[in-house]
Amino acid sequence: MSNAILVINAGSSSIKFSLFAHEPSKRELNLVYRGAITGIGTHAHFTAKALDGEPLASQDLSGADHEQAFSVLLDWLEHRDDGLSLAAVGHRVVHGGVKFNTPVRVDDAILTELDALVPLAPLHQPHNLSPIRALAKLKGALPQVACFDTAFHTTQPDIACLFALPRNLSEQGIRRYGFHGLSYEYIAQCLPEVTGELPSRVVVAHLGNGSSMAALKDGRSVATTMGFTALDGLPMGTRSGSLDAGVVLHLLNNGMDAKAVSNILYHQSGLLGVSGGISNDMADLLANDAPEAKEAVDLFAYRISRELGSLSAALGGLDALIFTAGIGENAAPVREKVCRQSEWLGIQFDAQANQQRASRISLPDSPVSVWVIPTNEEMMIAQHTRNVLGY
């Protein structure tokens, strides 16, 4: 029997999972299958697929809550005749605050500490913690490890984390944290293998439905575009990214309540808002001739280019730029716009390599090299889980 590590990424109404097999005597982890329970609380549905896309499960779970959904998943895992024994579960948890700078095995005391961080990420943290609690109840002896989106950024210097607000607010934890840390960590780990060295001053652009960028000095985060929440920085699918805080005050002072403003900033802005409601999806926008669609794509690329300048300033220069996540890995026109606008930084763009989706998309002599590297947050969580538990 090989050990298996279950990786869980839980949101408000869905639980995505991946199962990794792990030979005790070997270092590597192999993805065996993945799946999801969607529509939790309403029309919940459980699906699982093999790596070749073959459906392994499809079950209606209408009305199931998180705990019921979990018990179906566990039951399914336990009754598969695949020679795997579930040894541990790794969870993506959005917020580890200032304290949790590495993944941690969860017990009751840790869970209480993670609960106390809910006010810092009210839209995500409760949903990340709920499956941990459900599993502890269903299978108390199964080790669980929490892996944080914020942890990788705890290496940022204080100056990069401070807002220019009164000190008492900073002391209450109102500061920049940064997110997508598991993705950045995975990329930092791949960099030497992909590029043949570890470039010293690197900016990684994680461009997906949620987007952010991070400056890595010798593989460690020194600055990032997301701050106190995952609303900051770049425009995203439906999130505004950075904006003048005065806009929020203006909306509040002119008839909107906090809930309505929050709905605009999280769900009606970004690519969706700028495109005038055409789509939050980059592939749709690139295929659409409407001027609003073009403007949304142009603004996205423009903001990335401006943040690249800012993060390069934090690094004192730039040696390599990495594109990753759904848009970064697949949207060649976005990569081209960003690279063309950033030639002043020393990027010599290779248009042909970019079209062919080569790993390196800068010319051989380019002073700044540019790469496309697929991210794998689930693998990072599986590795952390194995390492924390000492397998």
Site stretch for ligand AMP (CB under 6 A), options 66-74, 172-180, 275-283, 362-370: 275-283
Q: Of the two residues 160 and 271, which places its CB atom closer to ligand AMP in the complex?
A: 271
Burial of 155 from C-beta contacts in 10 A (0-12 / 13-18 / 19+): middle
What is the C-alpha separation between 187 and 107, in angstroms, rounded? 29
Q: Of the two residues 106 and 121, which places its CB atom closer to ligand AMP in the complex?
A: 121
| Amino acid at site 329 | E
Contact 64, 131 (CB under 8 A): no
Site stretch for ligand AMP (CB under 6 A), options 12-20, 151-159, 186-194, 320-328: 320-328
Instruction: Report the residue closest to ligand AMP, judged by CB.
Output: 326
Shortest distance (Å) from residue 156 CB to ligand AMP? 23
C-alpha closest to that of 176 among 103, 216, 229: 229
Shortest distance (Å) from residue 326 CB to ligand AMP? 2
Site stretch for ligand AMP (CB under 6 A), options 105-113, 305-313, 327-335, 343-351: 327-335
What is the C-alpha separation between 325 and 348, in angstroms, rounded? 22
Q: Of the two residues 97 and 237, which places its CB atom closer to ligand AMP in the complex?
A: 237
Q: How far is the CA of 143 from the CAs of 56, 90, 113, 194, 292, in angstroms?
A: 26, 9, 18, 33, 50
- The DSSP string of 276-305 is TTS-S-HHHHHT---HHHHHHHHHHHHHHH
Q: Of the two residues 211 and 366, which places its CB atom closer to ligand AMP in the complex?
A: 211
Shortest distance (Å) from residue 367 CB to ligand AMP? 28
Shortest distance (Å) from residue 35 CB to ligand AMP? 16
Contact residue for ligand AMP among 29, 282, 381, 388 (CB under 6 A): 282
Shortest distance (Å) from residue 284 CB to ligand AMP? 7
Residues of span 21-80 touching ligand AMP by CB under 6 A: none
What is the C-alpha separation between 276 and 326, in angstroms, rounded? 22
Burial of 342 from C-beta contacts in 10 A (0-12 / 13-18 / 19+): buried
Shortest distance (Å) from residue 183 CB to ligand AMP? 9
- Does position 281 interact with ligand AMP (CB under 6 A)? The reply is yes
Number of residues forming the site for ligand AMP (CB under 6 A): 12
Q: Is the dihedral of CA 376, 380, 381, 382 positive or negative?
A: positive
Contact residue for ligand AMP among 96, 208, 235, 241 (CB under 6 A): 208
What is the C-alpha separation between 128 and 258, in angstroms, rounded? 24
Q: Of the two residues 282 and 320, which places its CB atom closer to ligand AMP in the complex?
A: 282
What is the C-alpha separation between 284 and 278, in angstroms, rounded? 8
Q: Which residues are catalytic?
A: 149
Q: Of the two residues 161 and 297, which places its CB atom closer to ligand AMP in the complex?
A: 297
Contact residue for ligand AMP among 7, 48, 132, 325 (CB under 6 A): 325
Site stretch for ligand AMP (CB under 6 A), options 21-29, 52-60, 170-178, 279-287: 279-287
Angle of helix 291-315 relative to helix 332-341, nearest 10 degrees, comes to 50
Burial 209-221, CB ≥16 within 10 A → b, else e? bbbbbbbbbebbb
Contact residue for ligand AMP among 13, 209, 242, 288 (CB under 6 A): 209
Shortest distance (Å) from residue 301 CB to ligand AMP? 13
Shortest distance (Å) from residue 229 CB to ligand AMP? 17
Contact residue for ligand AMP among 283, 290, 351, 358 (CB under 6 A): 283
Q: Of the two residues 84 and 327, which places its CB atom closer to ligand AMP in the complex?
A: 327
Burial of 51 from C-beta contacts in 10 A (0-12 / 13-18 / 19+): exposed
Residues of span 217-256 touching ligand AMP by CB under 6 A: 237
Other Cβ atoms less than 10 A from the Cβ of 228: the count is: 16
What is the C-alpha separation between 226 and 205, in angstroms, rounded? 12
The helix, strand and coil proportions of the chain, stated in percent and rounded to the nearest 5, come to 40, 25, 35
Residues of span 329-388 touching ligand AMP by CB under 6 A: 330-331
Contact residue for ligand AMP among 57, 261, 286, 353 (CB under 6 A): 286
Residues within the interface to ligand AMP (CB under 6 A): 208-209, 237, 281-283, 286, 325-327, 330-331
